[in-house]
């Protein structure tokens, strides 16, 4: 990549980062105001709110990246155009195709950032944020490790191997001790589901330990009374859009094997696949704007145009997703159509520039 192309790429990236920081600050302030409504609920204090908002920033960055990419690209290229730098480049023999190469580099960088934020940073950060919020508000105590989730309920110690995104437990073990701290009952269940004010265990194997030995019994279903409630489940349950792609794939296969509806999770899977491409399309869309209808517009006009197109894409994307779920449109089509439509718009405008 030549010197001029690196200069264009740096300018676009700098503008995109600036716009992203401004949008992030605005949304962070609104999130802070929203969280103040829960201040004092349980042990939820300002320090907990600050921690929750800080850990929620990766989510905001991921959501705002396409809009920031478009506005930042329009602003960056627009500044080059307003200072006649693009005119000098074109006069010197730099073609629109060469400028596009610099834009493509920026698009690839933003795609990498989107994948990194969405698949590596956002899931654990969002889970930790929910844990801080839920523990502070409900007062429940638990700990989670790579080997499962542990909670204490009086003389009961509960181990959940896996918490499914719909709130059910898979692979639960309940260890009950007496007042002398002796293990008395061990209960293993394949699944647990919360109904009304108790949990319903499935495929239960219970071992009772006393001076006479160990007695084992099995039942298909059993009720389990516990202080563990859905509020505590929210600590570790992450909505499908916050799960990594590989976890979504695994859970979709699980639902298919159990003949359950998978459309919502398939939609979340394809939305995560298309999101990095959306950021790239937004950057690509800025080029025909600058060399076309916005080449002589003031900076405020470019920002307004970029903002309107970015918001339009976001609303269209969200609306089409819900329409697809309601009318049974293929999940991949519902997720891909808005991005493909705006990519087609960018290609059409680019042809007019050439």
How does pLDDT run across 88-138, given as a tens digit for each residue?
887 887 777 788 788 888 888 888 998 898 888 988 888 788 778 877 776
Query: Token digits for 148?
Result: 């499962």
Q: What is residue 141's predicted lDDT score, i.e. its pLDDT? A: 46
For residue range 47-85, list pLDDT tens digits in order.
989 999 999 999 899 888 888 888 888 888 878 877 878
Which residue is it, tokens 């002796």?
Answer: 182
- Average pLDDT over every residue of 282-289: 79
Q: What is residue 234's predicted lDDT score, i.e. its pLDDT? A: 52
For residue range 257-277, list pLDDT tens digits in order.
767 677 878 888 888 888 888
28-37, 78-87, 338-347: least confident range? 78-87
Most distant CA atoms of the chain, gap in Å: 96
Q: What is residue 330's predicted lDDT score, i.e. its pLDDT? A: 84
Looking at every residue in the chain, the average pLDDT score rounds to 81
% of the chain exceeding 90 in pLDDT: 16
For residue range 295-319, list pLDDT tens digits in order.
556 656 766 777 788 778 878 887 8
**Is 254 exposed, middle or buried, given 0-12, 13-18 or 19+ CB atoms closer than 10 A?**
middle
> Phi and psi for 217 in degrees, rounded to 5?
-140, 155
Q: What is the CA radius of gyration of the chain?
A: 26
Residues 6+ apart with CB under 8 A from 238: 123, 126, 127, 130, 165
* Long-range contacts of 344-352, Cβ-Cβ distance < 8 Å, separation of 24 or more: 345/285, 346/281, 346/284, 346/285, 346/287, 346/288, 349/285, 349/288, 349/289, 349/292, 350/96, 350/100, 350/284, 350/287, 350/288, 352/288, 352/292
- Average pLDDT over every residue of 150-165: 77
Alpha-carbon span 4 to 11, nearest angstrom: 11
% of the chain exceeding 70 in pLDDT: 86
Alpha-carbon span 16 to 306, nearest angstrom: 12
Q: What is residue 186's predicted lDDT score, i.e. its pLDDT? A: 93
The three-state (H, E, C) secondary structure of 187-221, written as one string? EEEEEEEEECCEEEEEEEEEEEEECCEEEEEEEEE
Q: Which helix (H) or strand (E) holds 337?
A: helix 331-353
Alpha-carbon span 279 to 142, nearest angstrom: 38
Predicted confidence (pLDDT) at residue 17 exceeds the cutoff of 90: yes
Domain extent listing, the chain:
3-138+257-353, 142-228
pTM above 0.85, yes or no: no
More reliable by pLDDT, 336 or 325: 336
Residues 143 and 158: beta-carbon distance below 8 Å: no
- Average pLDDT over every residue of 169-177: 89
Residues 59 and 126: beta-carbon distance below 8 Å: yes
Query: Token digits for 172?
Result: 């639960």
Q: What is residue 260's predicted lDDT score, i.e. its pLDDT? A: 65
């Amino acid at each position: 990549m030549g010197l001029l192309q690196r200069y264009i790429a740096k300018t676009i990236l700098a503008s995109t980062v600036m716009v992203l920081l401004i949008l992030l600050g605005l949304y962070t302030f609104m999130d802070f105001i929203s969280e103040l409504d829960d201040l004092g609920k349980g042990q939820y204090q300002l320090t907990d709110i600050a921690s929750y908002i800080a850990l929620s920033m990766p989510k905001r960055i991921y959501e705002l990246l396409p809009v920031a990419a478009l506005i930042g690209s329009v602003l960056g290229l627009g500044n080059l155009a307003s200072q006649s730098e693009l005119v000098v480049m074109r006069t010197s023999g730099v073609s629109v195709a060469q400028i596009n190469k610099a834009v493509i580099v920026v698009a690839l960088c933003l795609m990498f950032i989107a994948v990194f934020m969405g698949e590596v940073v956002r899931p654990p950060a969002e889970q930790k944020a929910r844990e801080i919020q839920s523990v502070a508000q409900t007062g429940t105590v638990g700990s989670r490790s790579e080997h499962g989730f542990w909670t204490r309920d009086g003389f009961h110690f509960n181990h959940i191997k896996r918490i499914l995104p719909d709130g059910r437990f898979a692979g639960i073990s309940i260890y009950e001790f007496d007042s002398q701290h002796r293990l008395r009952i061990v209960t293993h269940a394949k699944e647990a589901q919360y109904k009304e004010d108790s949990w319903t265990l499935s495929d239960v194997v219970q071992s009772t330990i006393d001076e006479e030995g160990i007695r084992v019994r099995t039942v298909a279903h059993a009720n389990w009374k516990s202080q563990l409630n859905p509020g505590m489940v929210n600590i570790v349950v992450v909505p499908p859009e916050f799960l990594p792609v590989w976890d979504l794939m695994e859970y979709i296969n699980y639902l298919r094997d159990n003949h359950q509806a998978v459309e919502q999770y398939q939609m979340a899977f394809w939305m995560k696949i298309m999101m990095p491409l959306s950021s790239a399309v937004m950057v690509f869309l800025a080029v025909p704007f600058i060399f076309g209808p916005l080449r002589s517009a003031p900076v405020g006009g470019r920002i307004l145009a970029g903002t309107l197109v970015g918001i339009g894409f976001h609303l269209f994307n969200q609306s089409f997703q819900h329409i697809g779920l309601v009318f049974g449109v293929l999940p991949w089509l519902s997720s891909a159509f808005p991005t493909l439509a705006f990519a087609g718009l960018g290609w059409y405008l680019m042809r007019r520039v050439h």
